[in-house]
Amino acid sequence: MTNAPHLKDPRTAYPAPLFPSQPQSMPGLAREMAPTPDHGETSYRGSSRLVGRKALVTGGDSGIGRAAAIAFAREGADVAIAYLPEEEADAQQVIALIGEAGRKALALPGDIQDEAWCRALVEKTVKELGGLDLLVINAGRQQYREQIEDLSTADFDRTMKTNLCALHWIAQAAVPHLPPGASVITTASIQAYEPSPILLDYATTKAGIVAYTKALAKQLIAKGVRANVVAPGPVWTVLQPSGGQPDEKVKNFGKDSDFGRPGQPVELAPVYVLLASQEASFINGEVYGVTGGKGVA
């Protein structure tokens, strides 16, 4: 038995259900969640693993994207974050944290359902940061529908454009700027492997992200650029109470994980840092599951 003071029981390290009812309108704000998600604002400590890097993170205002952006800055990278204009309040907190880490921050409000904006945000990043060598395509749309009859063409189209089309547009615009040694990281989900019946369109896009990234990795390695996927399980982000799950599921979110709780965004940050860094120089086309014990197959 050890009494090491730095060890924490992972089952009780973060909040567990039952959570309060907290519905929000899409896209929602992390600051209005209870409990507030831990994105690493006070807990993530860097160790100079990404000094001098130039990063673009979509969905960088909250959730996993926010955790990655904070971690990248504290590891020494300049960071641009893309987000919806309605998420400005959360985004400005991230911009401030990047600045406090002594790195350059770039705010890119806009809607990635617009192809022209997807291409423009890449160009703005390259111009303002002086290059691009770390790309995290993370922003996603998740709106549950109980039955296939409830999933309208407009719903389906918005999910496809946000989760898949934008991935292609941003990657296509970014690749000409990525030097050898650069890294592309996409965010899929356990939904790609164990789809929920109420997330028909979302799960479809997440499976597509896995396939797209694996194929892209085979192309890009010929240029010396790596591409990998992170596939989270239940993570406590604003995606859930803003229409991503029914209220009853939000109250019990993460209960069925091996830990009896959802993951916190900060718990995924080290995986993004690893895949971004030179320490992952022989990792390409892989899917890293952070699923609370459920795995990916």
The residues that are catalytic are 202
Q: Taking the mean position of all CA atoms in its chain, how far away is CA 23?
A: 21
Region for residue 141 given its phi and psi (left: phi exceeds 0; alpha: psi -120 to 50; beta: otherwise):
beta
Cα separation of 33 and 237, whole Å? 8
- Is 236:254 a contact under the CB 8 Å cutoff? yes
Cα separation of 94 and 14, whole Å? 21
Give kind and range of the element (H or E) at residue 41. Answer: none
Which three-class secondary structure string do you get for 204-251? HHHHHHHHHHHHHHHHHHHHCCEEEEEEECCECCCCHHHHHCCHHHHH
Q: Tell me which DSSP letter residue 263 carries.
A: B
Q: At what angle do helices 200-220 and 153-160 cross, to 10 degrees?
A: 30
Look at residues 201, 209, 189 and name the one whose alpha carbon lies nearest to residue 146.
201
**Burial bucket for residue 255 (CB in 10 Å: 0-12, 13-18, 19+):** middle
Count Cβ atoms below 10 Å from residue 16 Cβ, excluding itself.
17
